[in-house]
Amino acid sequence: MVAFAKFVSKYDEVFYKLNRLVRIAVTLHVTSVEAERSFSCLKLIKTHVRTTMLHDRLSDIAVLSVHSQRANALDLDLVVDKFANKYPNCRIMLC
């Protein structure tokens, strides 16, 4: 679809309306899918947790759920080590 949009954009004067429709079609699917996924993830989180929590925590969990690929790619040992170095007097055992 993107290749067709690039092709039609070259002939914008001739295919003005087609160019507009193709640009709308290319951007419409991405934005609607992204919004749909965000709302779906938020719904799953709310039904799964079913507890009272602060809005900040719910927002953080929603971001982690939406961007799960990046969250899964994190090296947790490195995160724990950075936390332990930043807060050396922490009373939580991080092992």
Read off the pLDDT of residues 14-64 as tens digits, 9 standing for 90 and up: 788 888 888 877 776 555 666 677 777 777 776 766 555 667 777 777 888
More confident of the two residues 5 and 55: 5
What's the pLDDT at 15? 80
The answer to the question of residue 91 being in a domain is no
Residue 64's domain comprises 2-86
Tell me how far CA of residue 35 lies from CA of 27, 51, 73, in angstroms.
13, 24, 23
Q: How many other C-beta atoms lie within 10 A of the C-beta of residue 42?
A: 16
What's the pLDDT at 31? 58
The answer to the question of residue 93 being in a domain is no
The answer to the question of residue 82 being in a domain is yes
What's the pLDDT at 72? 84
Distance between CA atoms of residues 38 and 95, nearest Å: 34
